[in-house]
Amino acid sequence: MKDLTEKQLSSTHIFKGRLLDVWSDEVKLPDGRSSVREYIKHPGAVAMIPVLPDGKILLIRQFRYPIGGVEIELPAGKIDPGESLEETVHRELEEETGYRAGKITKLTEIHPCIGYSDERMWIYLVENLTKTETNTDGDEFIELLPTELSQCMEWVQTGKITDVKTIIGLFWAEKLLFQK
């Protein structure tokens, strides 16, 4: 295997906003030349596949400003400082859907955006759900959309669902639930 490693020569902080933390680094390429890498530093996130008592998947509808439309998604959210992955799953599930989980299982880890972000995201299966009081975040407006898995997979195939964490979570759900 070739040495493909790029080494940091210098790092410049471009912008720190409410959400985005933007950096530009000068790097040394494997052949000795230099280049620039611009990227986002991200705290990491979780996404979850909540399975309701009737077997439906608890999807949500949410407006996504960068793409200018409402997306059908799995519940998800960023890790708060000091929070464990499990704590983030429980907090985001309750904030976004108003459910509590009796059982959560880590399935896999993904990188949504390796070209320009260091974001890592962990996907959990979330079961034994019980309803609490919905308490959505101040600037999140969310609609619940409980959906049969077969319908979810049709929406993946036809392109009605385009969000990557949701597509990957649903493929995992299909594999797991068909194996049961």
Minimum separation from the CB atom of position 148 to its own copies (A): 19
* Nearer to its own copies (CB atom), residue 34 or residue 128: 34
Please enumerate, as own/partner, the contacts of 101-110 that have beta carbons within 8 Å and a separation of 24 or more. Answer: 101/50, 101/126, 101/127, 101/128, 101/129, 102/127, 102/128, 102/129, 102/130, 103/127, 103/128, 104/48, 107/49, 107/169, 107/172, 107/176, 108/168, 108/172, 110/164, 110/165, 110/168
Minimum separation from the CB atom of position 176 to its own copies (A): 11
- Do residues 25 and 36 lie in contact, with contact meaning Cβ atoms separated by under 8 Å? yes
* Nearer to its own copies (CB atom), residue 44 or residue 86: 44
* Nearer to its own copies (CB atom), residue 43 or residue 100: 43
Minimum separation from the CB atom of position 3 to its own copies (A): 9
Residue numbers of the site for its own copies (CB under 8 A)? 1-2, 4-6, 14-15, 17-20, 22, 24-25, 27, 29-31, 33, 35-40, 61-68, 70-71, 73, 108-120, 139, 141-143, 157, 159, 162-165, 167-168, 171
